[in-house]
Amino acid sequence: MKIKINTYTAIKLMILSVFVFGYTIRVSTIPTFQYVSVLFLLGMCILLKKYFRNIDVKKMFLWMSFLIATFLSDMINNVSMHQWGMYFFMNTMSLLVLIVDNNALSLEKNEIKKLIQTYNKFVYLIFIIYLVDLLTGSLIMRTLADNWLTCIANWVPRGKSLFTSRYASYLGHYLFTDVIYVGYYILNAFYKHSFFDEIETPIIMHIVAVIGVISTGSKTGLLILSVLLIVFNIKKIKNMIALIAGAFALYFAGFFNILLGRLSTEEFSTGRFGAWQTLFDMKVLKLNLFYGIGDGFFEYIHRFVDFGTAGIATEYPILCLLFKVGVIGFIAYIALMLLIPGYELLKKKNLYGAVCIGAYFFLIATYNGLTAYPDTQIVYIIVVIMIELISKVAKKKYTLNE
């Protein structure tokens, strides 16, 4: 079967790489290559082949700067090539998708809709499993964890857990599941806002997104989703009233029990801020321009603080990155992931798109997904590309209609 070399195929393969052959599935089937997402690689190669002449030189320079910074940092600190290679496949490689000039990327509106529908179908699968598990004591997830996806066993509760345990999907950790749900809301809400067309009915979209995020027990996730709910509904009084009423209904039904329990027993950052404050007070971290501590960052800080504190500190991956690769590498990464996509949208006067990217980046920057789950960055990149495509096609559509 011949694979079509087009944008639609490339992005669909990227989406399938997360949901069909995601990290937990790779760990359970081919652990040696758990950090290598073959489907994403294939989609990325198709995209780069199609848009080879449209590679942005400045973005390519930034990617090379980040690559050199990671290599230099690991070489100077005697980090093994195996560990450097692992990080390359986790984070560095996927950034290549972002070096294409986004003005060259093109899709038809119906293709964008199909891609979001593909994403939605897997989110609904996760949500339905959650509802069934809610009533059966995590029957489905326990069966998967005991017989196949053993890497998620510690996150799946035993016995009845109605509104008392955080929910981890077949894709992995609670917080990664949270990232999936927020991505779902961004894609559907931004599409609706841009095209005045619905992929999913508003009530279903909001129920799945809100209950989904609450089920993961993510405090930051609920905060980000709340901001996005306000952004997309602030001008619609009926929607705001419905959201407030819905929030009260969920509260009295017990859906907020997990989050309220966490807020009553721990600070909002779950110790992350305190861990970094300890490191800064000890003055054991120094900034370098061209290189950093490298991928042995955890082992380095563990020399000064206990295992638990070191582990919690790594849950602020962006701060870790600053000291792992140095100032130049850090700036290159932030520019590719956040600053350039955000600026390009603002330049087109697309404030909604820029807010979505900023909010989503903040979400993935507040837990260790970027350093522990290679699919975290992949999902973020997929959402960024889709936002850019929606923005471009919607603007073209409106211009033609004016």
pLDDT by position in tens, the chain (length 402): 556 679 999 999 999 999 999 999 999 998 888 888 999 999 999 999 999 999 999 999 999 999 999 999 999 998 888 888 888 888 899 999 999 998 899 899 999 999 999 999 999 999 999 999 988 888 999 999 999 999 998 888 876 665 677 888 999 989 999 999 999 999 999 999 999 899 999 999 999 999 999 999 888 899 999 999 999 988 777 777 777 787 777 765 666 667 766 666 666 556 677 888 888 888 888 889 999 999 888 888 888 888 888 888 888 888 899 999 999 999 999 999 999 999 999 999 999 999 999 999 999 998 887 877 789 999 999 999 999 999 999 876 555 444
* Cβ proximity of 63 and 332 under 8 Å: yes
What is d(CA 401, CA 283) in angstroms, rounded to the nearest whole number?
Answer: 59
Q: Which whole-number Å values give the CA distances from 366 to 199, 235, 284, in the listed order?
A: 30, 29, 22
CB half-sphere exposure, 46, CA atoms < 13 A: 19
The residue type at 56: D
What does the alpha-carbon distance between residue 235 and residue 248 come to, in Å, rounded to a whole number?
Answer: 21
Q: Are 200 and 228 in contact (CB under 8 A)?
A: no
Token pair recorded at residue 190: 């931004």
- Where do we find the tokens 């909604």? 352
- For the whole model, what pTM was predicted? 0.92
Which residues lie closer than 8 Å to 151 by C-beta, 6 or more apart?
A: 24, 27, 28, 172
Provide the b/e sequence for 110-129 (b: ≥16 CB within 10 Å): ebbbebbeebbebbeebbeb
CA distance 178 to 180: 5
Residue 100 per-residue DSSP state: B
* Contact partners, residue 120, CB within 8 Å, separation at least 6: 184, 187, 188, 199, 200
Q: What is the pLDDT of residues 136-159, one digit of tens each?
A: 888 999 999 999 999 998 888 876
Burial-class residue 161 by CB neighbours within 10 Å (0-12, 13-18, 19+): middle
Q: pLDDT value at position 35?
A: 87
Residue the block writes with tokens 């995601």: 22
DSSP letter (8 states) at residue 104: T
Instruction: Write down the pLDDT at residue 98.
Output: 96
CA distance 120 to 198: 13
Count of helix runs (H) and strand runs (E) in the chain: 20, 0
Quick one: pLDDT at residue 401?
44
Q: 3-class DSSP state for residue 55?
A: strand
Task: Identify whether the C-beta of residue 140 lies closer than 8 Å to the C-beta of residue 132.
Answer: yes
CB distance 207 to 338 below 8 Å: no
For 71, 77, 293, the CA distances from 300, given in Å and listed in that order, are 17, 10, 8
